Structures are given as structure tokens and as C-alpha cells.
Structure 1
Amino acid sequence: MLATVCARYGRGRTALMWGYVVGDKSTTEAEVTGRDEVVDREEEASGAGSAEAEPADVQEPARDPSDQAIDASGDPSARPRRRRSRARRVLLGALVLFAVGLFMVGGVVWWAVEHYTGNVDRISGVFPTQVPAAAQPAPSEGGQTFLLVGVDSRSELPTTGRDAKAPEWKYGAQRSDTMMLVHLPADHSGAYVVSLPRDAWVDIPGHGKAKLNAAFSWGGPPLLIDTVQRLTKVRVDHLAVIDWDGFKNLTDSLGGVDLVVDGASRHMNGTQALTYVRERHHLARGDFDRTHRQQYFLRTVLAKVMRPSTFTNPVKAGKVLDDLTAAVSVDDRLGDGDLRDLLWDNRNVRPGNMVFMNAPAKGTDMISGQSVVLLDAGAGADLWRSMRKDTVDDYLQSHDVDRLGATTS
């Protein structure tokens, strides 16, 4: 049976291939197909009633679609079908190349994410230990909360980031001039940034009443986190720290920033921007206006980093991402995979759907010869509760909030 099948299809195929190879234009595929049919009839006639005839349930192998599409009479109308078949093969090839291209692009993107998340410096031992159970906050009911800290270091060497040459904390050598609690809701719809005044008069464990920024100076990240958690009863999931050296480098890598000051737009480099965010003595509301300046600067930087034009130049994009990831230090619980998940989950968050505000406060006072900020415990309790329950948006709709406006001076 196998010999019969091979003979039936082999002779026609061989003649067709030979005709193309030797260049015999008179031997067309239609003619070969016709010869196949003649051979078929002769073999059927000779094999009728023979004991070697094929069983009725054995079917012929399926013929090539392009052969079936061509009429045995050589009618040229069958040729467009062959052209359509070739077009389909070309289209299939193009799709395959496109898929390969996507895999290549995906590979490059994955490499970039791996590279830049691996750039971020990790700090060990940032979370407080030996804290009484009653002072330990329960995990939030949804989302994550980060504590962002801007450090005023007295070291001439970088203290944070990949290029740090000095310890991120040394007793009395650094002060946390900028402290923000950033809550990322579970639905990834935005972000809520709450500034904690550096001069807030609070209880610092083991030290009594003092300004909030003294906690970092006396005990580094663990004491600051412990102080903030006892104040708010909000669990701090992760910490991110940047010193002023990293701040200036990041600003300069972006080509500076444009800020509106006293109604006029001003372009600032890293050094000028640092002076802008640290100013408070000549501001109408002192520390409250300074925190809004810091929020305004952060929002402006984020908007510039996320601008499509930042990434149209691969060299510029690489430098910005390199400087950004090299300037910041995070806790060692935030692994590379966690950072990738964080970026992916919040990929649709933009500065426009981020809310910047100050922690509720009653005003200022002088205590022991120091100008301090008095926090509003009642309004603050409602805000911190909304963070724990992941309902900050509800809080904003029912409370007056010291929010950042479109611009600030």
C-alpha cells in the first residue's frame, strides 16, 4: 500500500520538480496534475478486484492545498489562489518577526528594570526593635505607607544612595529636615502625601518632648520610625532617605526645574532649588509654607521625570534613571522584586492624581526658647485613622485640609 501511495504521488512531484530545475517551461504543474490523474485511472483499472487492492477504509493523504487550488486544465484563473497563499505566508512571516521584535523590546525593558532597581542602595536595621507590644501599630487594612526623609547632613561626603561615602546616620550629625508620610491605596488610584513639620513638638521615646527632627539626629531611622508610628499609630511599611547632595544631583540631571515664585516663573539648578525648599524665615506661614514648597518641588520633579520627552533621548533617560536610583537609599526589606511590583502597580499614577497636604496643626508656639509647631491631635487622629483603614479620600471629603495648591511661592 505504501509503495502504491509513493508511486502515485512521487512520479507527478518528480516530474514537476525536474521541470522547474531544468527550466522546461512546457512542463507545467497543471500538466503534471493531469498526468497524475491518468496514472490514477490506470492503476485503479489494473487493481480492481485484486487481492492487493487498498482497503476501502484507507484514505489518500491530503494533497497540498496549492495543488488542489490549480485546475487540471491549466486554467490561469487558479493562479490568484496561489498568490493569496503566498501572501498569507508573507503575512505570517511578518507576524513572526513582529513577535520576535516584541520579545526583544521586552527583554530590553526587563533588563533596564533589573538594572535600575538593582542600583538602589539598601539600609539595614532601619526598623525599631524592642518596642513594647502596646506601642506597635497594627498593619493597615489596605495599601502601603512609606516614610520619605530628606536629610540635612553635616558631612561633606554623600550619606545616602549608591555613592555614599559616610554613614547615613551618626549621632548628632544629621537632621531630618523633610519628613513625609506617603500612603499608596490598595486600588493604586493615586497617592496621598502628608508632610510632618520638622518643628512639630512630639514625644520622642526615651527622650521626652522635643522637635520631631531631633529623633533622627539622636537615634537615626529606627528612632524616627518609632516616633512617627507612636504619633500616628500608622504602620510604616518602608523608608526612603535622600540627602541634600543627592537632591542637588537629581535636580541637575533633569536639567533643573521651573518653579513659580511670587507669580513669576524661575528656572533653578540643584543648588538654587535646595535653597528654595529649605527657606522658611521669610515665608508668611513659616514651616507650613516651607513644607508646601517641598511638596511643590517634589510634584514638579515627578512631572518632569514622567514627561514623555524625558525618555525620547536614551542617553538622557539613562542618566536621569541612574541619578534617581543612585541618590536614594531604602530599607533592606524593599527588595528588587518589591520595587518592580511597586512601579508596575502604580504605573498609572501621575502627579495630577496625587494629593499633597500638611499634617493638621493648631499653630506655633515658643517652648524652652524654641519655635515649635503644635499638631492638632483631634483632626490628626481622623487623618491617621483614614490611612490605617485606606480611606483617605473619604477623609478629604469631610475635613478641611491644608492642601498644596496649583503653585506655591
Structure 2
Amino acid sequence: MDTSTEPARPIPEDTAPVPGKRRRWPRVILAVLAAFLLAVLAGAGWLYHRTDQALSGIDRIPDALPTLPEEEQPVRAPEAADAQVYLLVGLDAKDTPASGESPDGTPVWQAGAARSDTMMLLQIAADRNSASLVSLPRDTWTEVPGHGEAKLNAAYSWGGPSLMVETVQNLTGIRVDHLAVIDWTGFRALTDAVGGVTLDGERLDGEAALEYVRERKSLPEGDLDRTRRQQNFLRALLSQTLSAGTLTDPGRLTALLDTLGDVISVDDQLSNGDLRDLAWELRSVRASDIAFMNAPVAGTGTAGGQSVVFLDEEAAAPLWQAMREDTMAAFLATDRAPDTLGETVR
């Protein structure tokens, strides 16, 4: 047997391994990955800090929910336990903040000082995949606890947020979990912060948007058309806010966060953590997943020497039931559902 060995062939110079080269690549990759993760974490930390600042800037309204015994509160169906209902109260506050203290240190809400301009019930489905928003006419003739029959918006004037919530609960039989007070004037800055909104094909800045949601005298159905305009504006603003151009633009995102406290006040039961959790749970919801509508109206007339709106109680009953039972998606597919907001609004 030939036991001779073939001499080792020299390795070409251009293919010879460089000492330590293969060992350096893992270190380079790890360094790049670490730098990337640090950048992501820094960005996440900045966003968390800015978000927390913005949420802390939102005024909390003390004693905003009625302190009624549990047996006197509306009952929610067990299957809807995880659904949430917010009462959105709109104020055209101008120079008056929605809660906290006025510049001279006195409480902002004072009996008889202002009536709520808008009332909307926002029902968020338990699966957090959809929501429904129902506007209640401000001139709805109803029973205000402790005051007899009156216009719905008088409740805020007479008893502040808690009486407003109690009145709406009695009117609809729906348990309100939280309250949010919207300052329509503040939405001017919010509209500008997201770069304006497009309504019915026209791009509006903050000032034009404010005029849009305030107008009612020139509209055929007055306040009913105004509520549709307000819903249309909220839908457009939500679409614009959730667009990639807003959420990925640091300047716009910062401006958006900075204006939150000028626009919205919430009840003091809502913590920053609660608001963050809700935002995360609704991260997949888009404007198209929200159904906007007015409560069914039987007509207008006169009561107590005032021009008022009468709700259609028979038509409204299945709507309130669907909100209580968290079956709005199925209800809206029936012929008993009220008309939802169309693509074109007067």
C-alpha cells in the first residue's frame, strides 16, 4: 500500500482566511442589533413619556358620575360585562375650561352657567373590534331628576356632569361607565395639529372645522343636522389621526399629544393606565368600524313654553336594548335600526 502523502497545496492568497475575521462577524451583527434595539427602546421610551405627559394633562372631573346605590343604577346584561359605554358631552366652552378651576380659582362648573351643547353615547363592544355612537338631541324633552320635565341639556346646567349622566341613564336605561367632556373650541387646535381634515371633499383647517360643527341655523333640520355634522367631523378627524402620516410624523404626533388636554376632560375614575389600555385595545379599530347615528326622533313641538324634541320611545327601545346587551352589530343589520351617518352630510 502506498503510504506516501501528497504535499499540502498552498492556499491562494485571495482566499486564505484572515485571522479573527469569521469571529468578528457575529460581534458586528450583535452590535448592529443592539444599536437597533436601543433605538427602538429609546423611541418607545420617548413615546411612553410623551403619552404619559399628554394623559396627565387631561383634566379629571371630580364626582362626575352619579353616586347612586347599585340597585338604583341601570343593569347591564351579563354577556355585555366587558363592553364600555361613554357619555360624551360637548361644550362650546370658548374661554372656559371644561373642568378644574377657572383663572380666579373658583370651580368651573357653576349652576346655571352653561348648558351642554351635545350629548353622545359611545358604546365600545366587548371584543373591541367595533363601536357605536348615538347622538341625543340637546332639546330632548325628558325627566331631569329633582327638577321635573325639561330639556335634556338643562341637566348639566342644574347639576353638572353627575346629573347629566343620571338623566341620560334614566332616559335610555343604559349604564354609563365613564364621562368625557369635549370642548369644541379646543378641536380647532387638534384639527390643525393633524394637518386639517377633509370633509365632503373639502380640506378644512381648525377655524373652518369649528365653524362647521357650530352651524345649525342654516341647516334644514337645525340641531339634528348639526349633530350629523359633529359626527361627520369626528369621523374625519379619527381617520386623519389614525393615518400613517400623523402617527409617523414626530412633529404632528407631538402637536397632537400636546393638544389633548385642551380638548378633552374625563371623569376622575379614569387613570392614565386605563386610557393607555383602552387605546391599545382599540388599536385595530378604524373610523369605518364605528357606526354613527342619531337617536330616533318622533318630532318637534312645544312643552313648558319651549321648542323641544320628542324622542320616538318605541323606535328607540330596541336601540337601547342592543347597546345594553352589546348586540349592536346584529341590531344594525335589521330594519329596526336608525339610519347611520351617510358619506355626504349637509
Short-chain TM bin: 0.7 to 0.9
Larger Cα-atom Rg: 1
Q: 1:215 matched to which residue of 2?
A: 155
* Contact 1:361 1:375 (8 Å CA) reproduced: yes
| More displaced stretch, 209-218 vs 240-249 | 240-249
- Please report how far the alpha carbon of residue 190 of structure 1 lies from its aligned counterpart in structure 2 after TM superposition: 2.0
- Show the 5 A alignment for 1:389-404: 389-398=325-334, 399-404=336-341
Normalized per residue, which structure has more helix? 1
Question: CA 1:163–1:296 in 2, change beyond 3 Å: closer, same or farther?
Answer: farther
Instruction: Report deviation, 1:265.
Output: 2.8
- Structure 2 length-normalised TM: 0.86
**1:298 and 2:234 are equivalent in the alignment:** yes
Q: CA deviation at 1:237?
A: 0.8
In the alignment, structure 1 residue 375 sits paired with structure 2 residue 314: no
Residues in 1 aligned to 2:209 and 2:24: alpha-carbon distance in whole angstroms: 63
Identity value in percent: 46
The residue number in structure 1 matching 2:300 is: 364
Q: Structure 1 residues 107, 274: closer, same or farther in 2, change over 3 A? A: closer
Could you report, residue by residue, the CA deviation over 1:102-132 in whole angstroms, capped at 9, with x for unpaired residues?
Answer: 3222222222222221121111111112x36
The one-letter code matched in structure 2 to 1:148 is L
Q: CA deviation at 1:282?
A: 2.6
CA-CA distance at 1:238 after TM superposition: 0.8
State the AA in 2 paired with 1:118: S
| Structure-2 separation of matches of 1:385 and 1:401 | 13
Deviation of 1:326 after TM superposition, in Å, equals 3.1
Aligned partner letter, 2:270: L
- Aligned 1:16-165 pairs, distance under 5 A: 76=11, 79=17, 83-129=21-67, 131=68, 134-139=71-76, 140-153=80-93, 157-160=95-98, 165=103
SS in 2 for 1:176: coil
Q: Measure the CA separation in 2 of the matches of 1:284 and 1:175.
A: 23
Whether contact under 8 Å (1:161, 1:327) holds in the other structure is no
The answer as to whether partners of 1:152 and 1:174 remain within 8 angstroms in 2 is no
The residue matched to 1:225 in structure 2 has which SS?
helix
Deviations 1:279-329 (A, max 9, x none): 223322232211101100111122222222224442332122211233211
CA offsets 1:134-189 (integer angstroms, 9 cap, x no match): 53112453311111111134xx6322268954644211111111111111111111
Aligned twin of 2:5: none
Q: 1:295 to 1:397 in 2, by over 3 A?
A: same
Deviation at 1:82, TM superposition (A): 5.6
Match of 1:347 in 2: 283
Q: What is the aligned partner in structure 2 of residue 18 from structure 1?
A: none
Q: 1:134 to 1:110 in 2, by over 3 A?
A: closer
Three-state SS of the structure 1 residue aligned to 2:116 is strand
SS in 1 for 2:92: strand
Per chain length, whose mean CA-contact separation is higher, i.e. which structure has more relative contact order (CA < 8 Å, sep 6+)?
Answer: 2
Q: How far off is 1:133 after superposition?
A: 5.3
Q: Quick check: 208-217 or 243-252, which moved more?
A: 243-252
| Mapped contact 2:246–2:253 kept (Cα < 8 A) | yes
CA distance in 2, matches of 1:300, 1:164: 32
Q: Distance in 2 between matches of 1:102 and 1:243?
A: 35
Count of matched residue positions in the alignment of Structure 1 and Structure 2 = 330
- Aligned-residue CA RMSD (Å): 2.5
Q: 1:204 aligns with which of 123, 137, 144?
A: 144
Structure 1 pair 259/164, CA: closer, same or farther in 2 (3 Å)?
farther
In 2, Cα distance between equivalents of 1:90 and 1:319: 38
1:258–1:265 contact (8 Å) kept in structure 2: yes
1:11 maps to what in 2?
A: none
